[in-house]
Structure 1
Amino acid sequence: MPHPGWAHFSFDGIGTSWEISTPSRLSGEHRRGLLATVERYDAAWSRFRADSLVADAARSPGRLELPAEAAALGDLYGTLYRLTEGAMTPLIGSSLEQLGYDARYTLRPSGRPLPAPRWEDVLDWQGAVLTNTVPVVIDVGAAGKGQLADLLSAQLRDGGYAEHFIDASGDLLNPGPEPVEVALEHPYDPTQAIGTIRFGAGALCASAANRRAWADGFHHVLDGTTGAPVRTVVASWVMAETAMVADALATALFFVDGPRLEKEFDFDWLTAYSDGHAEFSTGFEGALFS
């Protein structure tokens, strides 16, 4: 554990496991408050729930008023949609469903890969308001878990728990300033590591093709322009100031190289490619095993 002796609060939320560590045990009231935040986020953004807010967009055209965090999420997705030339998109949900990653978790493709609809053709995202001109399946999984970690961290600080550590199934948020050393999971063998990294105040998030894989070589990182899984990159890691940005950029690295993203974002990164080589920023130098 990154902080021996701390108390730990573990739970499941938005389809993954969470652990929040604090120097002293969280009160029952604080725990209930955190779980309520997770539930509110899931009720707004989950494409796996028929009663979620975004589920309305999948049923019919219309106008959605989403929680305040939608504004930052939309701005980030808009930037990365532009930088990846449409490959990274919040409209990837229909493409995932086509390949079997649907609400029933059938994990059986129902046809050939389906490109996502072009954002500019079907969706207007202004602040916390989304207007869709046709039914669309919105999926913000590339940044949503990170944003929820940031929201929970802010809630902990407001509740008097300035010191804490959040582990969202391997995506980590450390308000710092004490550095934490963690292992970087091998993209082909989760029991092994390819290196270690120390990070202080900020977030460390990863994306890997092996985390959600099924059928004959399918995984959850799809290119929105083709609807097919990315084959050139197998894993990525990002250190950034917020978990939302780190989470999103870890996915963006599957489509755009690190130096291109560095022109618009302040972060450190490592990308592992399917041909066996890796590229990384100076913040990751010395962390990889030989």
Structure 2
Amino acid sequence: MESLGAHKVETTIGEGENASASSHKTNALLGLANASTFLEAPKVLNIVKTGFRFTYKVESGLRTQHFYVSGSKNIIKHMDTKGTLLDEIATESKNIPRCFTVNKKGHLLYSDSVDRSINLVSDKEVKCLTKLGRWKPQTVCSTFSDELLVGLKAEDDEEAKVVRYALSDITQEIKCDDEGQPLYRDPHYIDENKNLDIVVSDLDAKAVTVVDKSGHFRFRYQGIPSDKLSEGFGPRGVTTDSLCNILVADFDSNLIHVIDQDGQFLRFIENCGLHLPLDLSVNSSNILFVVEYYSNKVKEVQYLK
């Protein structure tokens, strides 16, 4: 793993010389503390073949050795780290479930970008929670308060937003910053950090955009200067750990960026044979699951001490 200091990030944090100096000092101290928690080299604990031709999404389960995965079929597989298939859940519409999440009760929820619905799976029964009309659901995550955050893109591709749902009711819409500029172009992956920030990976913008719980812009991460990024920054899946670190799958450069909760780059996770990492999920024990698009594998990786 490589650690670098410079990074490309837009931020509204620490405006003014004194605030900026204080912020940099605090970030430096946090960075040193964080760095001491990382393994020098990550360990691949298990490699599980998914059985899909292409693999799209992974989500850790409530049990640390379990995960859910989807790919090029209209099913979501519930598996353990030994590769045992525990269950298969088929979508009601027969469409491929490119995005799903697991809530606090252990229920699976998935979005369907074709019929534009959000669905709950309980006791193997599929219930449609809401239909989204002209909006295409592209990503979904369950929050600590058991709400849903959904990344949406309009059918004409001209608008994008993040919406918070309590059951089927909209309680929040996040679309523009305080100056009225659009925050998102193509919100494709989403996660809620432990500090309740909302983390979105935007494919068109090639950036990770972070807002606070109220929807106010905090920062935008667009990679760092590094010869390891010769193919550019290709953000895909995002996840967070118990230290509020944000992990970003870099599809183009075959590695994972780790930044802190304020957008400061910490290091890369590399040297574990990653090939086209598409999605990530960290479980309650800070073990990382990485899904590879073409290899049909989920890799279980330890990166913290």
Greater relative CO (CA pairs within 8 A, separation 6+): 2
| Higher strand content, 1 or 2 | 2
TM class, shorter-length:
under 0.3
| Higher helix content, 1 or 2 | 1
Q: TM-score, normalised by structure 2?
A: 0.26
